[in-house]
Amino acid sequence: MLIAFLCTFSVTAQDIEAMAKAPILTMNGGISLSQIATYAPDNPNADPYALYLGGNLSITALGVVTVPLSFAYTNQQLSKSVSLPFNRFSIAPSYKWVKVYAGYTSMQFSPYSLAGHELFGGGIELTPDNGWKFSALFGRMKKPNADESDPSYRRMGGGFNVEYQHEKFDVGINLFKAQDIADTNPFPNPDSIPINPQDNLTGSIKANLNIVKNLRIGGEYGMSAVNRGMTTGKDDFNLLHTKGDMAVYHAGKAQVSYTFFVNTIGATYERVAPNYTTLGAYYMTNDYENITANFSTSIKKINIALDGGYQRNNLDEQKTNTTSRLIYSANISSAITEKLNLSVSLSNLQAYVYVNDIYSEVTQTNQFQNLDTLNVTQLNYTASLNASYLLESSKERRQSTNLNFMYQKSAEAQKYSNFAGNDIFNTSLSYQFSLIPSQFNASASVSNNYNKMPENMYINAMTYNVSLQKTFFKLLKSSLTATFSDMYNQEGAVSNVLNVRLSGGYTLAKKHNFNLAMTLLHTSGVKTQNQFMGNLSYSYAFNTTLTREEKKLKLKGNF
């Protein structure tokens, strides 16, 4: 029915000619199955068996109508409240520039409105070649849930997004609505529900201008009206319920960039009001103001990028604490020779947290009375170096080395104390070797992580890794990986971990892939534990085409 409906769109003569030459039907897809067995004699709570099954199928008719299908299944429960195995279904058929969504889907309108929240329902996306783009969707965002750890009403949501792109400018507007259906109270006693039904209408407008060559100016303004306690109990989906705990919030972002020769300079300003919320996003950061600037250039073989910015919160000065951050970073990279590459990165973040405790200020009798209150300056400094060198590269062999070093300082100081914190040093050295005709690869690495803490405390970890890979008869792939980590502190050894993994994969008829992996995990220290795992997986892919040749139907398939 859906394919027949989509095929009712009018087509031009060129489209009819292309459809006549295209295959009548094309199908491709695959299936994968993974089974994991675990034996942990020292951990009786370990799950002994897990199964994962997934598949996909894409059907294309006459080269213009595409219907993709997918599914996933596992016997692993997502949480205690889930009684059935996790499963998902989605379909997204398309016809030229028309695409329809059904099942579990998500869209991205704006970070201030709909920002990737998944829903179960339907949607449409229109992308003609005239610069316009239109998308819309509607469906269920949440199911009623009586679990007191995460209670919820049934939440419905929907919206649309319209954009127009031109050589000199592009503009867009979007609107999204989400609402809890108040009469879907999942609790037996209506007075016992710990949450109130919510209603949200949010949207944004955005524009980018390229009036002057190499100069780009853009911005976006968002607004969100949120009712956190609807007083109506009707099962309706109005534009917005104003009765209850109603509030309106604003957000905005402006940016400018200019490119000249090989240089780029830009600046961005963003402000999100306190308590700004949209039900179209899983997470929303609000109550902040950002000012950033950046510059990048290339000087012969050297690439340079500089960034700096300032951020603060508590914009309305209604909170008891205020945080401000100052950050700058520099990245320099260069291909010094054909074999040697170097890159250096520096960044510094300074954050200041001030607690506006009026009572403590007016009642203290001396300046040292409230030294333990939160009035803190935090530092986070990072410096890193990466160097890679190609030792040999030929048709027979290839050898290379890589060195990484990173230093990070994380510290804080209160008003009357010095900076105290952690100094972290990460160093790693690796070597790669390949015999190309023999399809043999080997690598070895050693790394050190040293974390220095106040009062002469530290944690030091050494990690060694060896990996071997070999392909036999172009069909059988094998690998052996061993990793050993030894951790100790100022009092002596803490723990050591050994992880050995042996795996093999075989391809049959270019379509069937079998893989078997065996893993041994040994941990010793405060408690000794052993764990054995086996993973047997299978995947299959196919494609087939139905064509009409010389007035006869021919089925060509690769199964």
Element (H, E) at 311: strand 302-313
Phi, psi (degrees; rounded to nearest 5) at 4: -65, -35
- Of 14-23, 385-394, 490-499, minimum mean pLDDT range: 14-23
Mean pLDDT (whole number) for 233-239: 57
Phi, psi (degrees; rounded to nearest 5) at 151: -75, 150
CA-only gyration radius of the chain, Å: 30
The pLDDT, as a whole number, for residue 413 is 55
- Of 154-163, 370-379, 402-411, 487-496, minimum mean pLDDT range: 370-379
How far is CA 312 from its chain centroid? Answer: 25
Residue type, 158: G
Summarize pLDDT for 120-134 with one digit per residue, the tens: 999 999 999 999 999
The pLDDT, as a whole number, for residue 521 is 93
Mean pLDDT (whole number) for 344-353: 76
- Of 135-139, 151-155, 317-321, 535-539, minimum mean pLDDT range: 317-321
- Return the closest-CA partner of residue 66 out of 91, 90, 35: 91
Summarize pLDDT for 18-43 with one digit per residue, the tens: 556 778 889 999 999 999 999 988 87
Summarize pLDDT for 512-531 with one digit per residue, the tens: 999 999 999 999 887 888 99
CA distances in angstroms from 361 to 13, 70, 356, 365, 367, listed in the order given: 81, 62, 8, 9, 9
**First-to-final CA distance of the chain:** 28
Q: What is the mean pLDDT of the chain?
A: 83
The pLDDT, as a whole number, for residue 326 is 84
Residue 392 pLDDT greater than 60, yes or no? yes
- Return the closest-CA partner of residue 376 out of 416, 423, 318: 416
Say how many C-beta atoms besides its own lie within 10 A of residue 289's C-beta: 16
HEC string of 410-434 equals EEEEECCCCCEEEEEEEEEEEEEEE
CA distances in angstroms from 87 to 93, 139, 206, 336, 526, listed in the order given: 20, 18, 37, 52, 40
The pLDDT, as a whole number, for residue 519 is 95
Measured CA to CA, the distance from residue 135 to residue 124 in angstroms comes to 6
Residue 1 pLDDT greater than 60, yes or no? no
Mean pLDDT (whole number) for 347-361: 54
Measured CA to CA, the distance from residue 502 to residue 516 in angstroms comes to 8
- Dig out the tokens for 61 from the structure: 């008719």
Judging by DSSP bridges, how do beta strands 440-453 and 492-508 pair with one another? unpaired
Summarize pLDDT for 7-24 with one digit per residue, the tens: 333 333 334 555 567 788
Which residues make Cβ contacts (< 8 Å) with residue 484, sequence separation at least 6? 463, 464, 465, 496, 497, 498, 499
- Return the closest-CA partner of residue 68 out of 84, 50, 90, 53: 90
Please give the angle made by the CA atoms of 13, 15 and 19, to the nearest 5 degrees: 120
